[in-house]
Structure 1
Amino acid sequence: MTATMCRGQYMTILRGVYVLRGFGGRNTRCAQVKGVPEPLPVYEVLGPGALRTRLQLAAHRGLARFVGRETEMAHLNQTLEATRAGRGLDAMHHLGAALGLLDRLPDTPARASRELMLLLSLGPALMDVRGYGAPEVGATYTRARQLCEQLGETSQLFAALLGLRIHNVSRAQYAVGRELGERMLHMAQQAQNADWLLEAHGALGACMFPQGELGAAAAHLKQALALYDPERHQAHVFAHGVDPGIRALNFLALILWLQGYPDQARERSMDALALAQKLAYGPTLAFTLAYAAELHQLRREAPLVRERAEAAIAVSIEHGLPYWLAWGTIFSGWARVQPGNLQDGIAQLREGLRAEQSAGGAEQRSYFLATLADCLWRAGDVEGGLRTLEEATAIVNKTGEHFFDAELHRLKGVMLLASVSEAERVIASSDEAQACFLRAIAVARAQGARALQLRAATNLARLWQRAGRLGEARQVLSEVFDTFTEGLDTGDLRDARALLDALPSSSARTIDDVRG
Structure 2
Amino acid sequence: MTDLSEGRGPRGGAGTIPALDAVSFGPFSLRSRLLQKDGVPVKLGSRAMDILRLLVSRAGEVVPKSEILSYAWSGLSVEEISLRVHVAELRKALGDGKDGVRYITNIPSRGYCFVAPVQRGTRAEPPAPASVPPDKVTPSPSLPHRLDRMVGRDEIVAELAPRLLRDRFVTLRGPGGIGKTTIAVALAHDLSDRFEGNVHFLEFGPLKDAALVASTVAAALGLVVHHNDPSGSIVNFLRARRLLLVLDSCEHVIDAVARLAEDIHREAPGVAILATSRESLLVAGEQIFELVPLPGPPQGARLSAGEVLGYPAARLFVDRANAAGHRDDLTDEDAEVLVQICGKLDGIALAIELAAARVGLYGLREMAALLDSRLQLEWRGRRTAPPRQQTLGATLDWSFGLIGENERAVFQRLAVFAGHFTLEGAIAVAAEEGTPEDRVIDALEQLVAKSLVSSQPDGASRRYRLLDATRAYAMQKLADVGDAHVIARRHACHVQRTLESGLAAQGGSGQVSRSQQRVGLLADARAALAWSYANDDGADLRVPLAGSCTGLFVELNLLNEARIWSDRALAMLDDAGRGGRWELELQSTLGHAFMFTERNSEQAEAALRRGLEIAQALGDHANTFRLLSRLNMYYRRTGGYRHLVPTARHAERIARMIGDTAGIAGSKALLGVSYHLAGDQAEAQAHLDEGMRDDAALRGTQPGHFAYSRTPQIPLARVLWLRGYPDRALECVLPLVGASAPRDVVMHCIALCWSASVFGWVGDWSAVETMSARLATHASMHGLVPYEAVATGFRAQTLIAHGEVTGGIDLLRSALPRLHADRYELYMSAFAADLARGLVSSGRLAEGAQVLNETIDRVEREGGAFDMPELLRLRGELEAQGGNLHAAEASLVASAELAERQGALSWQLRTEMSLSQLRERQGVGDPREQLAKTYARFTEGFETADLRKARLMLNPPSA
TM-score by length of 2: 0.41
- Which of 309, 317, 334 is equivalent to 2:780? 317
Structure 2, unpaired ranges of 5+: 1-484, 500-520, 530-545
After superposition, give the CA deviation of every residue in 1:129-151 in whole Å (9 maximum; x if it has no partner). 445x3334323323322432454
CA 1:268–1:128 in structure 2 vs 1: closer, same or farther (change >3 Å)?
A: farther
Give 1:354-433 correspondences, 5 Å limit: 354-420=817-883, 429=885, 431-433=886-888
**1:435 aligned to 879, 890, 900, which one?**
890
What is the CA–CA distance in structure 2 between the aligned matches of 1:272 and 1:407, rounded to whole Å? 25
Q: What amino acid sits opposite 2:731 in the alignment?
A: E
Are residues 1:300 and 2:768 paired?
A: no
The structure that has the greater radius of gyration is: 2
Counterparts of 1:92-491 in structure 2, within 5 Å, are 92-93=560-561, 96-97=564-565, 100=568, 108=576, 112-121=580-589, 123-131=591-599, 133-149=600-616, 151-229=618-696, 232-236=699-703, 243-245=709-711, 248-274=712-738, 277=741, 279-420=742-883, 429=885, 431-466=886-921, 472-491=926-945
Summarize deviations over 1:336-387 as a string: whole Å, max 9, x none. Answer: 2223322221121232222222222223543332232222222222112211
- State whether residues 79 and 92 of structure 1, in contact with CA within 8 Å, keep that contact through their aligned partners in structure 2: no
Between 1:170-179 and 1:484-493, the stretch displaced more is 170-179
Instruction: Tell me how far 1:121 sits from its aligned partner.
Output: 4.6
Counterpart CA distance in 1 for 2:550 and 2:617 is 26
Per residue, is there more helix in 1 or in 2?
A: 1
Give the residue type in structure 2 aligned to 1:163: R
Shift, 1:276, TM fit: 5.4
Q: State the 1:208 CA deviation.
A: 1.5
Structure 1 residue 324, shift from structure 2 partner? 1.9
* CA distance, structure 2, for counterparts of residue 109 and residue 390 of structure 1: 49
CA RMSD of aligned residues (A): 3.6
CA distance in 2, matches of 1:164, 1:500: 46
Question: Which position in structure 2 is the counterpart of 1:17?
Answer: none
Find the aligned partners of 2:887 and 2:569 in 1 and give their Cα distance. Answer: 64
Q: Which runs of 5+ in 1 are unaligned?
A: 1-52, 421-427, 505-516
TM-score (norm 1): 0.73
Partner of 2:950: 496
**CA–CA separation in structure 2 for the residues paired with 1:74 and 1:273:** 41
8 Å CA contact retained: 2:779, 2:787: yes
Shift of 1:156: 1.9
Q: Which amino acid aligns with 1:325?
A: E
The structure, 1 or 2, with the larger RCO (C-alpha pairs under 8 Å, 6+ apart) is: 1
Report the Cα offset of residue 415 of structure 1. 1.3
Once the two structures are TM-superposed, the CA of residue 225 in structure 1 deviates from its matched residue by 1.7
SS of alignment partner, residue 244 of structure 1: coil
> 1:46 corresponds to which residue?
none
Q: 1:324 and 1:152 mapped to 2: Cα distance?
A: 36
The number of aligned residues is 431
Give the Cα–Cα distance (whole angstroms) in 2 for the partners of residues 114 and 123 of structure 1: 14
For 1:224, the aligned partner's letter is: G
Residues 896 and 912, structure 2, Cα contact 8 Å, conserved in 1: yes
Alignment of 1:44-83 (within 5 A): 70-71=524-525
Q: Partner letter of residue 452 of structure 1?
A: W
CA offset digits 1:206-261 (Å, max 9, x no partner): 2211221111111112222222226754425x66696211xx22211111111111
Q: CA deviation at 1:298?
A: 1.8
Aligned residues with identical type, % of pairs = 23
CA contact (8 A) 1:330 1:350 kept: no
* 1:449 CA drift (Å): 1.5
Change (3 A) 1:78 1:434: same
Rounded Cα–Cα distance in structure 1 between residues aligned with 2:904 and 2:562: 46
Letter in 2 for 1:462: Q
3-state SS of 2:825 partner = coil
Deviation at 1:313, TM superposition (A): 1.3
